[in-house]
Structure 1
């Protein structure tokens, strides 16, 4: 349980009606409210707490929203008993009266503003207001007359009206715990005064044109007050991640050697760089490197302090991995804040505990920036969203070595950073699917969507597999409970489907291991207290890109197989009627940049050995400075061995010939498996840049014609696995005993949902 019960809760026999209330059908609530006062006290709050959600569940047609609302507020609401009106805590109009706007008159718009203001006064305890996207409400007029410190949650995302400069200084907003002001016109500077919104803990400011300078102002204004920050769809770069770490995250580290046998440990090295941060290496135990410790699925045991006076009640401790995940979703937050302030869950929700939930998608943050954040932050992040990130920053010299106009998106070689040894508290993750599949997203002018998808999972994937030998698997972090994979293409020639299916199989294997451990614990003596078990990854969300073959999205270059290129002899492929100049431009786009244009800002040694000596050297000397002290370190550049790993040869060419010597740092476990010496240093920018082929050869028509629908393939796999899973009890005669999970059916019983657009999720059983 999340907290210990009060004395009264521990000594009072539970009320059977309160125990049964959550299982009562919604349609029976009104009748039960009329039975007796005891029933009313249990079921009336369930009806009235979120009044707009209640009327929708009761069957109100969206087209009748305005007429019902006006009749309810202006005619009937005053006849409702004050005790009943006091039960309303949430006004969630995000999906209310939206359709009616298209048919509403100016008079209706004025009435809507008047009715909303009247409702706020007649609902004295309505602390949470969600009106995303509503255009006809004068928020300043509605909220300015409310009592001081009235509201605790306000969501106005997408409201198109400009807010007055003094809006966030309103007395009624000074107790806000949750604020979503995403997509609202104007600057956010007006809410960044240090004395405003002292109780704010969750701030969502998506699509507000926030750059690095503005984010620094935000971080210095709120410092450690916020525990959730959403700055998606802005102009934030890698620079801002250092700002967030320094100003908004606690200095105390959750990383320790207490779980060394299970998770391994971090060894700080004496040097570092500004781009990489302090250098760390992972010291593995007998089991941690293979994620196979017998106790890897055990939740953390409670900590004990011998001296009670030495206990720091404000010290931030690592989660045990089995407790409920703190959510910052608007609906869940509104329900929680509708409860009494003294309840422990509400107190914890409103407590300032520094930044633990961070959303960064659709910015200019690169995969290198995300990796640095995970390395240098103290391990407090619980919920991280970085769904779409470029592999290298736009300004990186490594990009200049790629074919012109070609870029890669994804996160490669970073699986170790999502292990508990680095990410001690991570429970929820939304990230590009390449973390699991090793298939980045390729963008290149002149190539069709299908051609880019095909090249990404063939030519590029082959090189990624040579450069990074370790993708993320469930056993790397059994504390992770929810994973969302983004930017998944709908079409595949085979490798992408195989990798997704293999990941789902590994989830089933993890599930079977936990089932066996639970059975072993249950067989122990009743007098022996068994450890709590982690749940493992129980929710997997797959977010797909639009299908290039669907009607309504088909581009001219994707429309039919005969319109695709015939072979790979021409540049990127051309269509009838193209000019010769266009062909020449596209052809040059597939060629690597000239060596004369290559440059690097590295501080590496500038001595140029002879060609013979250069072919023999395995390291170059890097001269750097850390904490004001200069240092030198040998950096591995690979071996000049004909016929060896092609990507490592490209890495050597970029470092030795191209002088690309940025991003120096310790070799990761994935790079060591690929051939880098253990405990060596490498140039990470050059290593990352080497995964891009020097030439993007367009695929043939037949290769593209054979691409399959990824969604259909996954559905077929799930259906087949479920059929085998359901047949097992009949074949084995198990009866009521639970069917063994994992092999041979490999049907994963967790929640798997897919999304084919930003607002649609469907669940597969």
Structure 2
């Protein structure tokens, strides 16, 4: 709709004729145009939008295309009113006059249509779309001689001349007939792209061009850079596939010359738009140097696993992304003491539940169109290499300094002080991060057992930040956030509560080395007890993951035997086969080779 409707048009119901017109057969459109002016306004634009497509649908034999076109252009067009010719908006030659008729040679066929291109602006002043893609005979070069400058008709907006066998003149786009061209496809045609760029294929003659396709033109890096410079940041889409290009064209000049941040990206629009940040530690990895693989695996599935589940209680389920049909899980250990197998089996059960829900929904929609997704149908497990369960390296018991491995907190902070967080001992760590600002005053005395006993009995913490703030939020500036105004960081009540992770987070905030890296609360944080739409100290929250006493945690896990993960999955699959819990998708197990 070019103009806003009037009050009467907005308040009145839809016209019955406009509702019925799409269902009227094309063969009746001409008769409908003769009924009255109202019918003419409705059906004439449909009839004349693309005469070539219309006449083909009306039954014109492909062998008679040339005869009809010559008669139409040379005779009938002269008698057609200008108001009617203004209705022609598109000419699609892709399936027109592909064969030479018996009365005319192929050369005559080429001249008959190609020469008519120069008169298109005069014949059809509002023509905006011209499609010649793949036509074996037509020569688009005639468009360069259009008589368009004097009368200034409507410019073409879409031109598709891909796969035309004739070489184009480099000055093709000098004509004002292309000044409003938005879409141009000139792929797989002979001729030099460099000459075209220097002559007319540039922003000077094509100021409105937004989509350009130049595939299969044997273009090299030098010509591509010339093309980038010719249009700079004007284009929205540029297709250079199937050319002789290298990765060298993606350099700083290309990135800065062809891409820019919109001027609307300011702090004033931050709440609506935001900013993309790619931190390198978004998936943190803890390297346990000096520990044998079996020892590290046992720790990962015992103490670390329990702490992770407490700090990040949400797990991925198939219904979190219902459009996902294939999923690959990487870095799966070949053997497990239990949790890995339990979680993989649970995921298979959830996929079976999703499968049953989709099957039930299809039964409800039986006999109707089923706009349903298929759900997960392919699951790939990439298993890590096998490892030896030889624990002889730990036989001496004192060769590995577990406390120094993760730099835990003060040794006076005993295991008993953590019992309230969880039945098993969890803990905090005092780990410094370079380059991140630390907030608040230092307090090295917060780890005393008597202070935790006071906290566990219901009293409020007395160290910073709780000694200086009575509210649950403190206002701080975070340089890593793209906002100049301070943010309200949640520190909690300072009193023991129902959420174990929140209790440990509040205790960790007493360590100045953990009051770092302010960021928004994620759904995982909210599920663990953090108020939604708030900011927290990621450093204090991430410290929940690290056990206080690694040596005690390892001793507790040493008695748990390893089980083969692949065997456990296969046994579960065999056990559910033929039952309602069997997932009918495909599972692939892949073992990676050891280094």
Q: What range describes the TM-score normalised by the shorter chain of this pair? A: 0.3 to 0.5
**Higher relative strand content:** 1
Choose 1 or 2 for highest CA Rg.
2
Please report the TM-score for the alignment, with normalisation by the length of structure 2: 0.44
Please report the TM-score for the alignment, with normalisation by the length of structure 1: 0.35
